[in-house]
Every structure is written in C-alpha cells, then in structure tokens.
Structure 1
Amino acid sequence: MSFDPPTRFDSASAVILPEGVASGTFNLAGGMVGQFPAVLYGRLLYVGNLKEMTVIDVRTGRTEAAIGGDNTSVGSARRAAERPVLADVGGTPTVLTALYTAVKGSGTTAARNLIELVGVDAATAERLWSIPIPSDDASPEDPVAVAGVSGGTAVLRAGTMTYGVDLLQRKVAWQNPNFVVGAVADGTAVGVLHDDPVRGRLSGFSAADGKLAWRDRADVYAASVRPVSPTLVAFHGNAYGSGAPDDRLLAAATGKTVTREFITDTCAYDGVGIAVCSGANETVSVDAATGKRLWAITPDGSGRTAVRVTAARKGLLYGSTENGPVVVDARTGEDREVDPGAAPYLVNGSVGIARNPQTYRIIASPAIA
C-alpha cells in the first residue's frame, strides 16, 4: 500500500540496513554533515561511497549490487560520497555517481588516474555505461561528486575542477580548472570561481557549454553554494578583507539576490513548489520559484521550536525538534503529525529512510498512513 506523501511510519517493523550505510555522514552530536549520501527509487536505495555505489533493497535490507567503474577504484568504501543524482537520460531514469579509478601502466604506457561517471538504470540497478574523464592532477582525497544535471549535461566537481559531461554523447563537453561548483539549477552551474586558493567570486556558468553567465562583484572566502530548488541556490561565505558573513538566497540563472541573511544548514525541495530550510535555531519555508517567504520559526519567543529539516515531499516537511520527529505542512507551517515514528532523510509513498536514535543504524521504516 502506498501513502504519498506519508505522515506516519512503523518504526517497530523497520528493516535495519547494512552497517556502514552513510558512514561518516553524522557528527558526534547526531547532526548530518552535508547531504544524506543516497537516493531512493521505489524499493531500491542507491548509496554512494568513494569506492562504489551500493544498491540495497529496502524491503529486506539485502545488498543487491555493488557498482563500480570499468577500472580499479582507488577510493575508500568507508568514506561516504556525496549523494548520487537521479536524472532522466534519454528517457531512462538513471542514477549517476562519480568515482576515482586508476589504469595500471603496461610496457611503455604510463599509469593514469581517471574519474568515471557511472550511469545505472534506476529501476533495475543494471549498470548502463561509464564515462572516463582523465584527471591525473586529481587526488582520491579530493571530494568528487555529481553536482547536478541540466538537460543532457551532468556537472561534476572534483577538488577545484569542474566538468560538464554530455550524457548522450558520453564525453566531456567543457571543464573549468578554477571553478568549484556547488549546485546546478535553472540551466546554470553555480559556485565559486577562484582567483587564488583562498579568494574567489560567486559565479554562474551555463551548464550546457560552460560559458560564463554572471559573476558577482564581491570577493569572498570560505564560501560554499548549495541547492534549494530548481531555480534557487543558497550561498554562504565571508567577505574578503572584512571577514563579514555573507549569506544569501539567490536566483541561479542571474545571480540576483532574493534574500540576504539566509542562514541555513539544510534545505529540502518538496517537488511541487516549496523549499524548506533550517539552521541552528530557525526553520524557513519559501516559494520554490520566487524565494518569497511563506513562514518561519525563529527564536523570537513565539513558543514554537524550530524543526531540523530532514526531507520534504509533496507539500510536507519531515524533520525533528527537541520533542522528537514531526511532520509539518510545508506551505502553512502547521503541524500535521506530532508522532510520525521517524524523521526520514529519504521518503516515498512506501518507506522512509531514517536513523535509529538509539542504535544510530540506518533503517527503512514502512509508511502506514
């Protein structure tokens, strides 16, 4: 039976997933560092690490496949990668992940390092293809990830290098050695273009051909960009020189600032028009197209406790407060369910993927309402 979107989960019947799922994703306080490194498609959970992508049947907890590249992986299975990306590639729902691999030398042919962009049929877990990207200067210790997909182009980040890869022709379309992409939205790869190892400027490049779309005038450092919705991204950094914090919600295609002082740790898009974000003591919901604030919970004495966002789906926000898991109406901010049984990081109509607060294991809890 499917409940889409669900409001309650049966934690008593939860399936314990293999040990090591999302290893290194949570800090000692239980907070998540970055994104949960998996994507859920039907009954299949695709989990990324730096060695391979593991496929788990969430109904049984059994590992169905471990998918690598064409060559020997040089990444660690104990280190979580960033989240794989689900995209439509030529009409096929495809899970994309990026891995570091190495080609051994032979005779007079020198050994070389590669990044492999691997595509997997989301419905069957069949590996479809792998696209090799020469990267002799890249280190397996550098983060490698698919930042996003626009049209037929996947945008990858490997250390301080960004690649645009044509998924239909299966070749590198463009690359930028000084651009660190953080998000792909509205046809634009958004990140920081570096003038030197410390200083850079917030910039947007066409995802299709890598041409500069816009560049901010302010120099920043310790900067990062994260996705918010199909058209919006969040920027966090510090002004170079003064050190003043610079936090913004902006339109990806133009770089225009929508909201300043937009301080968030986690954002989730519900897939139908609302994005919800949370920081240390604040939860804010915005229109996914315009960035207009719909509601917020702030430390202003209102008597409400901020929600730490874990996921959003079809008008609902999933997360937790000091009182435990909660489901909230993403448009109005009203509580929908105060005892949902889980605060899932990934959710569909049948299951929620969450973390057991007692054992810290990742579990798959069936949706029951």
Structure 2
Amino acid sequence: MATTAVTAALILVAGCGGNDKKADSPSGDGNGQSSASPSPTAPSLKTFDPPKTFMVDNAFPVPADKTLDTYDTARKGMVGHVALIGHRAGITGHDVADPSKTWMIKSTETATTSVEDMSQIVAVKVDGKDVALVAYSQVDKGNGTKKPQGVVVFQWIDVSAGQKLAEVATPVSTVEGTGTYAAGSPGLGSFQYDPETGQVAIGVSARGLLLAKTQNATVYADPKTKKSTVVPGVIPGALRNGVFAGSAGTNGGTTPDSSIVIVDGASGKTTKKTPVGQSSLGPLSGGIKHGYFYGSVYSTAKGTDVSTLYSVDLATGAVVKTVPGLSARDSGGYGCTWDQASAIVCTASAASGPKEIFGFDDDTGKKAWGYTTLSGGRIVPNVTAAFHGILYAQTEAQPVLMDAKTGADLPSGTPSGGPSSTPSDGSTPTDGATPSSGDTPSDSGSPSEGGNGKGDLGLFNGKSESPEAVSPYGGIYGQLPSNSSYGEYELIAIYLKPTA
C-alpha cells in the first residue's frame, strides 16, 4: 500500500477474534448500513465490518466559536458514510464518500430556547435508513404568559439526506429562574438506545429543583410514534424493543433500598422489580439482551464500601451478579462501551491508582474476562470505541486492537511505508503544499477520493490515533490544532478510511 507524505496510514491489523467470518472481507451492507453512494456521481467506498486497518484520509477543521462555553466540547460520531461533529448548537455532517457534501442540523430554531447539554451521537436504523440519534437538554424561556420549563429534545437525523427524520420534545420540569443554569433544567445522564428501532431512553436529573416529583427520571421516546414517556425515579441501563431495564431507589446515602426494574417504555409501567440491597446503584452500559449496573453498600464488618456488578435479562428480568477486581474505593466506578453486537467492555473511572478492564458477554450477561494493573503483565488501555467484536483503544505508545469478547490483544502493525510516509515533526509535506488533485497515491487513497472538498489534510499532525467512533465506512477522532491554529480552530476531526 503506497502513501504520500501526508496520507499516513494507521495500521490496526487483527489476525483473530471479533466477527472473523466477515471481518477480513468487504461487507456489502455494513451490518445493514447501505454501501451505495449517496449520489450517482459520488465515489464509492469499500466497507469492512468491523474495520481493522485504517488510513488517514481527511481532516475536517472545527472552527472555534467564541459564543460557546469552554466546556461545550465537540462530540464525534460515525453513522454510515457520514462523519459527525456535534455541539449544543447542533450537528455538522461530512459525507466521507463525497466530501463536498456537508450539512448542519440546529439543535433549536427558537430564539427563546437555550440549550444546556447534549448527549453522545449514536447510530441507529429507522425505516432502513442510517440515522444519527442525539438528545439535548433545553430551557424553554417561555413567551407571553407561558412559564419557562426544562425540556428534553430527541432528534433523529437521516445522515444521507442531511435532514431531520423525527423530533420529540418532552417537558420534564418547571424552571423557576432564568439564565444558563436555570434551576430545574434537566441534566442528561445514562443514554440507552435500540440500534434497530431508534427507540431511546435517557436518564435525567434535576438542577436545583425536584424533577417530576423526584430527583431522577427516565425519558423514553419512539421515532415511529413520535411520543414520549417520563418515568420518575428510574435511571435506564438498557433498551430493546420498547422495554428498558433501570435502577431505582435513593441512589445514595446509607439506605440499601436500590432495585433493578424492567419497564415498558410506552406506558411507563414497571413489569418486574428485583431488590438488590445496595445503597447506591447506577447503570453502566446496555447491550441487546442485558442491562448492566454497578452497586455499592457499606459493610460494617469490613468498615468500607463493598461493590457488586449486576446484569439483568431484558426478556425475563433474571439478575446475575459478580464482583469487580478493584474495591469501591480504588475503582471510582466504571465507564463502559458497547460494541453494538455481543460485548460490553468496562474500565475503572478512577483517575489515579490501580486500573481495571473487563468485559461482559451479552449473550449470558456474565463477566467473560478482565484484569487489573495490580495483576501485572498488561497495560489497561484507554478505550476509545468498540464495534462488532473489536475494541479500539489507545496506549501511551500507540493505538491498539483487542477482542471485545475475550480481551485478547490483536496484532497491530506499523504505519505503512515506514517513517518516510509520516512527517516526523508533524509538518505538512516538504514543498509546503497541501494535497492537490495531482497528489494521487497508487492505492486509491487520493485526496480526490476523500482528502479534498470540505477537509484540509494539511492540518493532520502526522500522528494517527485510535478512533472515537466507528462504522463499516471508517472512523473519526479529534486532534488538537497545531500551535499556529489555536484560537482559529477548536479541534481537527480526523477521518480514518478503512482498508481492511
């Protein structure tokens, strides 16, 4: 595979594991995602499900917006053949099959509405279309005699057309104030979704005032019916076919009254409740078959909090529990990533001290593998994404691949073409020019196939990193702008084209 100086390849070659039957050959439908070009003139892209080898193919600069708060960091997403960058103002889509196509969907069109928060951007299917799903927390400041109120807004965006497919707005609290942090505006938490239906459930919490007569609630919505339901006192942990699992109870303090519940989304009715005797219980990440939770309770015998991991079968409500490798004090809780297939991988949230990584098998709901830095021998990497059996992660030295179901390392190569293919100092090519139509690598990774249009590959710093979002059409991650670009750009979104 030949490359030019600015089209450095990120080689992540997996020899085994994952979905091997389809991993090493292009997939025609990308797991249901159409590989057809968005228009007759758009160049086609090979798809791999899951992709294991990438090549830096485009760099999309994200202009700095002086009107945005500093904590409004960009969200990155990859839905079908569209790379997505989101802020509270809205989502911008870059069609990687035809980079001249760019669109923007605003979070709100109403001048009297302020957007306080937004969720991650995830990929779902609605009527067979590749759709981006996002949630916003908004404050409707009211007009006339209408009182201000907090609102959760879901948007489903057809990424090929760059148009909203559906939108559902749900009032969840009454705001008794004004300003950016108006009391009662809903804070967004656990975000669960069904990738095959586009149904969504998000946990919300009150900012200052009680929400729906309790501090926490779940907002459920369906793009087909365009209806929503607010379920007080529950935080969602998984969602499938209109049914979600959640945690219920005081979720803190010393009272061990937490339960795992199964709820019908449309009606909001609890169909099963299983007490687990925890004083704190929170969701991790849901799979297709199970929801996953982390609980803790104070043990007078041990004089410290004792933590437990739980999974619940969405179909039967059966609960399975296991024990994490680290104590409640050392772990600091867990952050988890679902591969949209059959594995959920979690890492300890604590910023310092020992680290842990483990995986659940979603077919059984049981912990399948795991290790900690206390056991020695292996590094716990920074997990950036997971997709169809592959875990994408970053160590201090390089991007790595792991088998999401077993935790086994998968072989990783070096950048194709050796050191000469990547500028060693992060600079652009020696002639100072950015890629042009004449800079055509022989492997068809030319700017005319994706390194052109709305992007600027000359902004790539020469060091490839692990993707933060993945589809059969590639991946995307955020790179900090160069010193000369600080102030002009917030970040550079790097698109990785799959090559194997």
| Cross-structure match for 1:30 | none
Change (3 A) 1:85 1:49: same
| Cross-structure match for 1:10 | 55
Q: CA deviation at 1:24?
A: 4.3
| Cross-structure match for 1:207 | 265
Change (3 A) 1:162 1:41: same
| Cross-structure match for 2:119 | 82
Q: Deviations over 1:26-75 (max 9, x none)?
A: 8xxxxxxxxx9443112323444444333344575985203224534311
Change (3 A) 1:186 1:230: farther
Q: CA deviation at 1:358?
A: 8.3
Q: CA deviation at 1:201?
A: 1.4
> Between Structure 1 and Structure 2, whose CA radius of gyration is higher?
2
Q: Give distance in 2, aligned partners of 1:152 and 1:225.
A: 20
Larger deviation: 114-123 or 319-328?
A: 114-123
Q: Give distance in 2, aligned partners of 1:265 and 1:362.
A: 27
After TM superposition, the structure 1 = structure 2 runs for residues 89-238 of structure 1, keeping only pairs within 5 Å, are: 89-99=126-136, 100-102=138-140, 104-106=142-144, 108-137=145-174, 139-140=184-185, 142-143=187-188, 146-149=191-194, 153-159=199-205, 160-172=216-228, 174-185=229-240, 188-195=243-250, 201-204=258-261, 205-212=263-270, 213-221=272-280, 223-238=281-296
Q: Residue 140 of structure 1 aligns to a residue in which SS?
A: coil
Contact 2:54 2:499 in 1 (8 A): yes
| Cross-structure match for 1:276 | 345
Q: Residue 309 of structure 1 aligns to a residue in which SS?
A: strand
Q: Residue 132 of structure 1 aligns to a residue in which SS?
A: strand
Question: Number of residue pairs matched?
Answer: 353
Q: CA deviation at 1:343?
A: 0.9
Q: Give distance in 1, aligned partners of 2:471 and 2:220.
A: 30
Q: What is the identity, as a one-letter code, of the residue corresponding to 2:336?
A: C
Q: What is the identity, as a one-letter code, of the residue corresponding to 1:2?
A: K
| Cross-structure match for 1:354 | 477
Q: Give distance in 2, aligned partners of 1:286 and 1:207.
A: 25
Q: CA deviation at 1:123?
A: 2.5
| Structure 1: gaps (5+ residues) | 27-35
Q: Deviations over 1:326-365 (max 9, x none)?
A: 1223345032215474311112233221243785744222
Q: What is the identity, as a one-letter code, of the residue corresponding to 1:225?
A: P
Contact 1:186 1:252 in 2 (8 A): no
Identity of aligned residues (%): 19
Q: TM-score, normalised by structure 1?
A: 0.78
| Cross-structure match for 1:328 | 402
Contact 1:203 1:255 in 2 (8 A): no
Q: CA deviation at 1:165?
A: 2.6
Q: Residue 62 of structure 2 aligns to a residue in which SS?
A: coil
Q: Give distance in 2, aligned partners of 1:169 and 1:67.
A: 22
Q: Residue 377 of structure 2 aligns to a residue in which SS?
A: coil
Q: Deviations over 1:300-323 (max 9, x none)?
A: 555332232222223322102233
Q: What is the identity, as a one-letter code, of the residue corresponding to 1:137?
A: T
Q: Give distance in 2, aligned partners of 1:15 and 1:152.
A: 29
| Structure 2: gaps (5+ residues) | 1-44, 176-183, 206-215, 326-330, 349-353, 416-463, 483-490
Match of 2:78 among 40, 47, 72: 40
Match of 1:247 among 308, 331, 336: 308
Q: CA deviation at 1:294?
A: 4.3
Match of 1:317 among 387, 391, 411: 391
Q: TM-score, normalised by structure 2?
A: 0.60
| Cross-structure match for 1:65 | 104
Change (3 A) 1:228 1:178: closer
Q: CA deviation at 1:196?
A: 8.0
Contact 1:75 1:140 in 2 (8 A): no
Q: What is the identity, as a one-letter code, of the residue corresponding to 1:261?
A: P
Q: CA deviation at 1:146?
A: 4.9
Larger relative contact order (Cα-Cα within 8 Å, sequence gap ≥ 6): 2
Q: Which has the higher strand share?
A: 1
Q: Give distance in 2, aligned partners of 1:182 and 1:219.
A: 16
Q: What is the identity, as a one-letter code, of the residue corresponding to 2:162?
A: A
Contact 1:9 1:342 in 2 (8 A): no
Change (3 A) 1:179 1:268: closer
Q: Give distance in 2, aligned partners of 1:20 and 1:180.
A: 34
Contact 1:311 1:346 in 2 (8 A): yes
Q: CA deviation at 1:102?
A: 1.6
Q: What is the identity, as a one-letter code, of the residue corresponding to 2:475?
A: G
Contact 2:218 2:232 in 1 (8 A): yes
| Cross-structure match for 1:290 | 364
